[in-house]
Chain A
Amino acid sequence: MRDRILSIIEKNSRIDLKELAIRLGAEEIDVANELAKLEQEGVICGYHTLINWEKTDIEKVTALIEVKVTPQRGQGFDRIAARIYNYPEVRDVYLISGGFDLLVTLEEKSLKEIAQFVSEKLSTLDSILSTGTHFILKKYKDHGTIIDEKTEDEREVITP
């Protein structure tokens, strides 16, 4: 049941408990308990909304920043990662294999703000060797959802 709950609410966290129980063929109370457990255990970390900002009047610029760092004795990358993720404007921080170490994503109102963050806050941190900033020009697919997907049903209306 756990797997199914997670895969359903990953797509739609607003589904109501009753419907979820019906679809899973389970009792409402059992589903509620399982959800509570998943939250307690930290398996479910939050319920977010996927927004296509393009369709609003609100300006948003997203940047992916490659960061090369010197890992620190005894603490590896954790300490420097914490110094970065504690900035509220930072959305994601991942430790990455390959040509650089951390991938940081940032969402701001303008290019200027992102440039400011990188040059004033990020690059000046100790143990940061270099950064490379990429701006997102267009989102085709986000969190498994194709943005602007046409969902028209093209099937014949009645078939045997």
Chain B
Amino acid sequence: MTKPLSTKVENIKPSGIRKFFDLVSEMKDAISLGVGEPDFDTPWHIRDEGIYALEKGKTFYTSNSGLKALRVEISNYQKRTQGIDYDPMSEILVTVGGSEAIDIGLRALVNSGDEVIIPQPSYVSYLPCAILAGANPIVINLKEENNFKLTEEELLSAITDRTKLLILPFPNNPTGAILEKDDLEKIARICIEKDIYVMSDEIYSALTYKGEHISIASIEGMKERTILINGFSKAYAMTGWRLGYACGPSKIIKQMTKIHQFAIMCAPTTSQYAAIEALKNGDDDVTMMREAYNERRRFLMDEFKNMNLKCFEPFGAFYVFPCIKEFGMTSEEFAMKFLEEGRVAVVPGSAFGESGEGYLRISYAYSIENLKIAMERLKKFVDKLRN
């Protein structure tokens, strides 16, 4: 064949993480702090519900939007945690992970040339998905001096008359930053005034360590313009089940459902049954895991302090994002050298956007014992670089 493939797709850069992944996989003695998923197994009662669904032969398609019982539980969950009312019949769509919701949400909203504002550092898929949807992505480089929050000034300066949508990825992967009520209110005011949609990716909402997570959709005037994305992967340690959801105004959900219907049909049935159990009886598991993460977070922050490594204190997700600018290396060089000499894999901040340059993403979805060994190696490595 000589005919060219899609230029749009060919022009998309593969994830910067890939190259690193291949390297680490070769090194058997390396410790990885590179994963973006919980180290806990899915709680047993949730797995059991999945097994039960299989035993009972519940192996068929569900409705396109997802099992009604699951949508009702999602609605209850949003009501009890955020105080937002979503109609299970028209305002909720069950998707294959939060990732699918990001993709189809963008495709449902964007016309060719519309501008989509993407704060970075952030999850790797927003930018390519926006481009594939035909959008013109406008990146905001978040700053450590603002604790990697999105500020009013930054947002205002990125908005033009072509701005359609703001992606709001908090609690943030990779920085661990969160937005608090007053931060959200400022952003909400601007979005309402400038008439902009918001895609709020709240996949880490259950994992905050400074008060409860607040959704921007809960602020007056925002529900009608917000696609709230969440899922089961991080809160309930269910990454492999591939289950997420989008909540939003019915006119958007209706369009997203169309794409979902034709591209996916429905989210995995077994996972949907398990997810009902997660929402009904999983609160204690989430609390247990959150406390474990929080202990590790404090442990890492203390270790950084002891080795004089600059790191703003993150209050969300399960990542810390220390600054390594003092060593005069790019984050990729640092990560590579640390892997070779220190035998620990971390992810270069630059994999999450240009503004992640000079930082490392260190995941604490690992046992304390593992983290201890890794921190000893980091200390040794850093000491050597400084001398």
Which residues of A come within 8 Å of B, CB atoms?
A: 4, 8, 19, 22-25, 153, 155-160
Q: How many A-B residue pairs have CB under 8 A?
A: 54
Which listed residue, B299, B302, B345, touches A158 by the CB 8 Å rule? B345
A153 to B347, CA, bound (A): 18
Which B residues lie within 8 Å of A25 (CB)?
Answer: 294, 298
Q: Residue of A at shortest CB range from B22? A: A158
Which listed residue, B21, B351, B368, touches A157 by the CB 8 Å rule? B21
Known A4-B291, A19-B299, A24-B295; contact A158-B32, beta-carbon cutoff 8 A: yes
Q: Which B11-59 residues have a C-beta within 8 angstroms of A?
A: 15, 17, 20-21, 24-25, 30, 32, 34-37, 39
A157 to B25, CA, bound (A): 7
Nearest CB in chain B: distance from A6 CB, A: 13
Q: List 28 A-B contacts (CB under 8 A).
A: A4-B291, A8-B295, A19-B299, A19-B368, A22-B298, A23-B295, A24-B295, A25-B298, A155-B37, A155-B39, A156-B21, A156-B35, A157-B25, A157-B30, A157-B32, A157-B35, A158-B17, A158-B32, A158-B34, A158-B35, A158-B345, A159-B36, A159-B37, A160-B123, A160-B124, A160-B125, A160-B347, A160-B351
Nearest CB in chain B: distance from A98 CB, A: 25
Which B residues lie within 8 Å of A22 (CB)?
Answer: 298-299, 302
Contact-size category for B:
20 to 34
Q: Residue of B at shortest CB range from A18? A: B302
A22 to B25, CA, bound (A): 32
CB pair A160–B25 under 8 Å, yes or no, is no
Which listed residue, A4, A23, A157, touches B24 by the CB 8 Å rule? A157
Which B residues lie within 8 Å of A23 (CB)?
Answer: 295-296, 298-299, 368
Interface centre among A22, A24, A157 (most CB of B within 10 A): A157
Which A residues lie within 8 Å of B124 (CB)?
Answer: 160
Q: Residue of A at shortest CB range from B15? A: A160
A22 to B17, CA, bound (A): 32
A24 to B302, CA, bound (A): 12
Which A residues lie within 8 Å of B296 (CB)?
Answer: 23
Q: Residue of A at shortest CB range from B291? A: A4
A25 to B294, CA, bound (A): 9
Which A residues lie within 8 Å of B295 (CB)?
Answer: 8, 23-24
A23 to B297, CA, bound (A): 8
Which B residues lie within 8 Å of A155 (CB)?
Answer: 35, 37, 39
A25 to B37, CA, bound (A): 24
Contact mask B149-160 → A, CB, 8 Å, 1/0? 000000000000
CB pair A160–B36 under 8 Å, yes or no, is yes
Contact mask B116-127 → A, CB, 8 Å, 1/0? 000000011100
CB pair A160–B17 under 8 Å, yes or no, is yes
Q: Which B294-308 residues have a C-beta within 8 angstroms of A?
A: 294-296, 298-299, 302
Nearest CB in chain A: distance from B121 CB, A: 11
Contact mask B236-252 → A, CB, 8 Å, 1/0? 00000000000000000
Q: Residue of B at shortest CB range from A158? A: B34
Nearest CB in chain B: distance from A85 CB, A: 33
CB pair B298–A158 under 8 Å, yes or no, is no
Q: Residue of A at shortest CB range from B346? A: A158
CB pair B37–A158 under 8 Å, yes or no, is no
A140 to B298, CA, bound (A): 34
A4 to B36, CA, bound (A): 26
A24 to B368, CA, bound (A): 13
A103 to B20, CA, bound (A): 57
Which B residues lie within 8 Å of A24 (CB)?
Answer: 295, 298
